[in-house]
Each structure stands twice: as C-alpha cells, then as structure tokens.
Amino acid sequence: MAGVALVFPYFRTRAPTEMLFPPLGAATLAAQLRGRGVETRVFDCTFSSMERLRADLAASAAEIVGVYSMVSLTRNALAVAQLAREILPGSLLVAGGPLPTVFPGRYARHFDAVFRGEADLSFPRFCRDYLAERATSATMGRLPLDGYGGLFVPDHGSPVDNPAVHHPESELATFPLPDRRDFDHAAYQRVWREKTGFQPTSLIVTLGCPYGCDFCSKPIFGNDVRRRPLDAVLEEVDQIRALGYDSLWIADDTFTLDAAYLQDFCRRIAPLGLGWTCLSRANGVQPDSASLMKASGCKRVYLGLESGSQETLRLMNKQLTVAQGVRAAEVYRAAGIEVAAFFIVGYPGETTATIEATFALALSLPLDEISFNVPMPLPGSRLFERLGSPDEGKDWTRENEITFVYPSDIDEAWLRRRVDETMAEFAARPRRPADAGARLTPAPG
C-alpha cells in the first residue's frame, strides 16, 4: 500500500470506569482523506496489541503515520512513534489531538510534524500534497507549509507555526460524515451489551463551549460554539443504526445550550425510537426542553455540578450557582430523565468544610449516579498554568483516581475515605425511578 495510516493508541485497560467508543477523530480524518483520493488505513488499538500494531503498520507500508494523543495517551503515543520509526523509517510521523495541540514543541521532539486543533481540512490537504509531491521529511519544505492551518514544524529551514483553525458552521456543513468502516463494531457492542444491556456509540452534534471553567481544557473545539446541520446529523444517526448501535452518547461539551436547536434535534430524532444521553450545563435548563428531550428518547443527562460550595464554584470559575445545579437536577428528574452528576473535591483553595458541603449536596439531590474526582490539572487549563509544575512522577495515565498529581493541603487518605463513605451511603439510598416526579423548587433568579 502506502498512503496514510492513522493510529488511535488506546489499548483496552478493562478498568471499571473504562468507556469504549470508536475514535471519532480518526473517522473524521479518514473520511476527508479518502474524499481526496488518499489511501488510508485506520488502526484503532482499543482491541489490539502492540505486537499486532507492529505487524499491521509494517504491512501498510504507510508513507505518513498519524498518531492521536491526549493527556492520558502520551506514553502510548510516544511508544507508537518509536515503533513506527523502527519499522517504517522512511515514513513521516505526524501527531495531532488535544495534547499535541497544547504542547506542539514537546511532540515535535518525537514527530516530524504536529497539527494543532481542528485538522479536518489541513491534515488531509497536507497528506494529499505530500504524497503527490513524493516528498520526504527532508524535502517537505517544497510544499506550501504556511498554508496548512495548525501545522507546527520547528526546524524546517524556517520554522512553521501556523495558528490552529476553527471551522465555521458554513464549512462544517460541507464536511463528509465520519467514516466508521474501520472499527470493530461487534467488539464495541459486545462490551457495552455485557456491561449495560445497551449498545451506544458516540457522536458530535455541536462543537465548542463558551464557558471558561478553571480546570477545563478545550484545545480542539475551543470557545466558539458551532452547530452541525441537523440533516447531516440525522444521516449520521442512520449510519450508526445500520452499524447495529441502539443508542447515542452525545459527546458535545454543552449540547443543551441552544434551546431552539436542541428542540429541533429532539423533534427530528424522536420518530427513530433511539435512546440517547448527553452532557448538559446546569444553568438555563428549561422544563419544556427537558420534556421534549425525554419524549425524544433522552435517558440520562450528565451534569457537571462540581461543588456544593458557592465559594468553590467561584474558585473554579464555573459560572454556576449551587441553586441552579439543584434546579437542573430536579427539572430533568421531573421530566423523567435520569441524572448523573460529576463532582470535584479537593480543589486548590478548598477546605474540609466545603468538601463536606459537596458530599452533602450529592446525597441530597435526586441523582441516579454520582462521581467524585480530585482536580486533574489538564494541560491547556488555567488550573494547570496556576499550579506551575505538576508532579511528573505521578501516573497521569490512570483514569478517575483520587490521587493528587500536585502538592495539596488536603489529606488524601481522609479524602479517599470520605469519598468511599459517600459512595456507600449513596448506593444504600432507596432509589426513586426518574419518572416518580421530583418536585421543583422555584427557578433561581
């Protein structure tokens, strides 16, 4: 072959918190690459192994190897880069995804080039031109490198450091649907079925989030909210159903923000009889939207309530009041939708009293699932910048751990015990079905 190989370097860990979805970034880029006539292979490592990847990559003889990375996949991405150098020494190594976007210089030590941000157009155009020119890493300077949005190549004659792009809605409307043909859908569906009885898969409907939470990092979609045309979304949903999935896990940062668009989505998806879940901001939740969501198949919403202390919410720049969070949980439950809530405990500046307020809030609300995490200072977030140098010795690859990766005044053993106690108390509560009609408190002014 030749052409491009895209590697998603996540290998199944079987951690209890593990959630498996085919990687949409690879599917998105594969559709754009194939649309330009570029031969493309996708290697999703979720159900694979390093040995198999070695054989697959060698057989592909790809001229360009593109590797996705994010904070939890750093080690794997670098191991894949090393492997590719060894077995395909002549091929061009390119990194992309959230962490290369934040730290292009660090990735450029291991890769020939880095694409920052939304690479839907720039990376496929670059690959097409590179292959057409029969370029190599030494000669790619012949290409119009300044013209590929987000490209970062530090030492190529004159360094290339193009700003990342955010595609406007008009451009998104012209994009092909993600190409999901390369994934082991049967394996994904089996894992979900065994765990939950359902077979969901992820999709992206809107891009971006206008808020600026202190702990959040949004290196790819940023603050600029864009909506995909619903015709394209519905066409994608049809493809997803044809692949055997029975429900949708909407991966948007803030799917419920635009009430008119949300309601349109609900009206159009309702006749399909699919179940779906999404993340929702807790402010501005409207009972009429919630009822439509329920009627259209929404089973569960995930709310980032974060804290039971207003002072801590302020430290987090959450732009949310505790009362709004309470109201959101009640509105969704009253509509018959299950509610899961995320909380962060041990935020820098917190006291044991504010942490206890969070445990008390979690236990007081009509919730169906709760989770507690200590702050994970994500590269690209303000929290990360403020904390300066996190402890490099800590293992950042572990998901959802109550372990501080920076010095904290909070006693970790105490926190872990209180989280365990709160989780046990939550599990022992009598559980009301979501339809049981929670009573609404008045909307906060």
Tell me how far apart the alpha carbons of residues 137 and 101 are, in angstroms, rounded to a whole number. Answer: 20
Residue whose Cβ sits closest to ligand B12: 96
C-beta of 177 vs 378, nearer to ligand SF4: 378
C-beta of 120 vs 253, nearer to ligand SF4: 253
Residues facing 275 on adjacent strands: 247
C-beta of 14 vs 439, nearer to ligand B12: 14
Tell me how far apart the alpha carbons of residues 166 and 194 are, in angstroms, rounded to a whole number. Answer: 38
34, with CB counted inside 10 A (0-12, 13-18, 19+), is: middle
Query: Which of positions 266-325 make contact with ligand SF4 (CB under 6 A)?
Result: 281, 304
Residue type, 6: L
200 binds, among ligand SF4, ligand B12, none (CB under 5 to 8 A by kind): none
Q: How far is the CB of 252 from ligand SF4 (least distance, A)?
A: 9
The answer to the question of residue 218 lying near ligand B12 (CB under 6 A) is: yes
C-beta of 62 vs 257, nearer to ligand SF4: 257
C-beta of 33 vs 334, nearer to ligand B12: 33
For 394-418, give one letter per residue: b (16+ CB within 10 A) or e: eebeeeebbbbbbebebeeeebeeb
CA 380 to chain centre: 14
Place of tokens 């979690």: 362
Site pattern 368..407 for ligand B12 (x: CB under 6 A): --------x-xxx------------------xx-------
Tell me how far apart the alpha carbons of residues 5 and 440 are, in angstroms, rounded to a whole number. Answer: 52
Tell me how far apart the alpha carbons of residues 224 and 229 are, in angstroms, rounded to a whole number. Answer: 16
Query: Which of positions 165-224 make contact with ligand SF4 (CB under 6 A)?
Result: 209, 211-213, 216, 218
| One of 2, 19, 234, 440 touching ligand B12 (CB under 6 A) | 19
C-beta of 53 vs 378, nearer to ligand SF4: 378
Contacts with ligand B12: how many residues (CB under 6 A)? Answer: 42
The answer to the question of residue 10 lying near ligand B12 (CB under 6 A) is: yes
Is-contact 20 44, C-beta < 8 A? no
Q: How far is the CB of 179 from ligand SF4 (least distance, A)?
A: 26
The answer to the question of residue 99 lying near ligand B12 (CB under 6 A) is: yes
C-alpha pair distances (Å), 83 with each of 70, 77, 78, 87, 149: 18, 10, 9, 6, 28
Residues facing 279 on adjacent strands: 302
The answer to the question of residue 118 lying near ligand B12 (CB under 6 A) is: yes
Element containing residue 379 per DSSP (H, E): none
- Contacts with ligand B12 by CB under 6 A lie at 10, 19, 21, 23-25, 28-29, 66-68, 70-73, 94, 96-99, 102, 115, 118-120, 123, 202, 204, 216-221, 251, 253, 376, 378-380, 399-400
- Contacts with ligand SF4 by CB under 6 A lie at 209, 211-213, 216, 218, 253-254, 281, 304
